Amino acid sequence: MSVSGVSASLTGGYVSGRATLRGTSGTAQASIAAAAERLARATAEVSSGKKIQRPSDDVVGTDKALELRRALAAEDRYARAAGDAISWLGTSDTALQRGTALLQTARQLAVQAGSDANSASGREAIATQIRGLRDDMLATANTTYLGRPVFGGTTGASVAFAAGADGVVQPSAGAGNPVSRTLAPGVDVRVDTTGTAAFGEGADSVFAVLDDLASAVVAGSAQSSAQLGRLDAALGRMTTSLADVGTRYARVQSSQSTGADRTLSLTSAQRGVEDVDLAEALMELATHEKAYQAALGAAAKVVTPTIMDFLR
């Protein structure tokens, strides 16, 4: 073979070998990149505890996770509404229990005043106590929760009842309009209590009854006894309102319990979609680490040959 022929043969072999080497090197680099990506994903899953790092990881799982998060956000709103309702109703319950106790005390005083043994000064002292009960009752009727009167409905006033210049107590505007809270889809519960239902209005209001009782006590025993029927009627109205508040309170508590169960179920489902099984994730991480090291080892053996490798 001529020198030129040998030269051409060497050149052609070298070029062919270089092309083969380039292809092998590219394959090795691709293997390393793929192994590195799998390792990085496994590492991210273990460190974050989440299976889905980005939407493209699991499109269906991402949609399900977003749906579950929206449902949990709604349950959180319902839970906060229920907590607010419990506070409203609890405040009303305490106020009505106090109002009931005040009326019971007023009845005891009315019975005491009905005795002929009371002197004029003694009757005046009892009347003073009753007037004090009337003032306490007005303060009770104006009980507030977070600055809003619980017996005032949607009134914009700071009190549910106010005494006019003539001393007559009247409900504020808007006191009859209800305040409600949504505890679940389609489940609304009224959280306030109608002031006039609990405390009456006009001549039948507890304020008018107590005012008249104080005047009757001063006038004499017969007039005091005549007010007992009105006191009992006022006490009945307040007791009815108290029972109604208790019923609604129990309903809200039941809704809270049901909502807590729903939240637990949704949270469990969310974890099933989003969270990794740590033991499984650690095994996968170890597997991908080994695969990455193997890819690096294989690539290390791919070295650029010299011309002597083609002469052998």
pLDDT tens column, 275-294: 665 556 556 656 766 666 66
CA angle 235, 239, 240 (to 5 degrees): 120
The pLDDT assigned to 298 comes to 61
Same domain membership, residue 167 and residue 41? no
Contact (Cβ atoms closer than 8 angstroms) between residue 269 and residue 261 = no
Show the tokens assigned to 38. Answer: 């799998």
Query: In this model, does residue 94 exceed pLDDT 70?
Result: yes
The pLDDT assigned to 117 comes to 75
CATH code where residue 240 lies: 1.20.1330.10
Same domain membership, residue 302 and residue 210? no
Same domain membership, residue 307 and residue 259? no
Query: In this model, does residue 130 exceed pLDDT 70?
Result: yes
CA angle 51, 57, 60 (to 5 degrees): 90
Query: In this model, does residue 87 exceed pLDDT 90?
Result: yes
Query: In this model, does residue 172 exceed pLDDT 80?
Result: yes
Of the listed ranges 28-37, 173-182, 187-196, the least confidently predicted one is 28-37
Residue 105 included in any domain: yes
Residue 57 included in any domain: no
Of the listed ranges 13-22, 64-73, 181-190, 262-271, the least confidently predicted one is 13-22
Find the radius of gyration of the CA atoms of the chain: 42
Residue 113 included in any domain: yes
The pLDDT assigned to 65 comes to 85
Residue 307 included in any domain: yes
The pLDDT assigned to 120 comes to 86
Same domain membership, residue 176 and residue 162? yes
Reduced to 3 states (helix: H, G, I; strand: E, B; else coil), residue 190 is strand
pLDDT tens digits along 50-71: 666 667 667 787 888 889 999 9
Q: How far apart are CA 190 and CA 88, in angstroms?
A: 10
Helices (H), the chain: 3-48, 59-113, 120-141, 195-199, 206-219, 221-226, 228-274, 278-300, 307-311
**How many folded domains does the chain comprise?**
2
Q: Which domain holds residue 7?
A: 3-49+277-311
The pLDDT assigned to 270 comes to 80
Same domain membership, residue 183 and residue 234? yes
Same domain membership, residue 116 and residue 262? yes
The pLDDT assigned to 125 comes to 94
Same domain membership, residue 193 and residue 179? yes
Q: What percent of the chain lies above the pLDDT cut of 70?
A: 70
Q: How far apart are CA 26 and CA 35, in angstroms?
A: 14
Same domain membership, residue 243 and residue 170? yes
Q: Which residues contact 131 (CB under 8 A, 6 or more apart)?
A: 210, 211, 214
Contact (Cβ atoms closer than 8 angstroms) between residue 110 and residue 224 = yes
Q: Find where tokens 């309702």 sit.
A: 85
CA distances from 10 to 18, 23, 38, 289, 309 (A): 12, 20, 42, 42, 11
Show the tokens assigned to 25. Answer: 């090197």
Q: What is the mean pLDDT of residues 104-130?
A: 89
Contact (Cβ atoms closer than 8 angstroms) between residue 106 and residue 233 = no
CA angle 236, 84, 198 (to 5 degrees): 15
Of the listed ranges 17-31, 49-63, 83-97, 111-125, the least confidently predicted one is 17-31
Same domain membership, residue 175 and residue 80? yes
Reduced to 3 states (helix: H, G, I; strand: E, B; else coil), residue 69 is helix
Same domain membership, residue 198 and residue 251? yes
Residue 54 included in any domain: no
Contact (Cβ atoms closer than 8 angstroms) between residue 170 and residue 177 = no
The pLDDT assigned to 63 comes to 86
Per DSSP, what are the bridge partners of residue 275? Answer: 50
Same domain membership, residue 16 and residue 95? no
pLDDT tens digits along 222-264: 788 889 999 999 999 999 999 999 999 999 999 999 999 999 9
Residue 283 included in any domain: yes
**Helix (H) / strand (E) containing 180:** strand 180-184
Contact (Cβ atoms closer than 8 angstroms) between residue 281 and residue 46 = yes
Same domain membership, residue 116 and residue 140? yes
Band of the pLDDT at 18, cuts 50, 70, 90?
low
The pLDDT assigned to 297 comes to 66
Residue 56 included in any domain: no
Show the tokens assigned to 63. Answer: 């949609």
Q: How far apart are CA 66 and CA 71, in angstroms?
A: 9
Residue 148 included in any domain: yes
The mean predicted confidence, pLDDT, of the chain is: 82
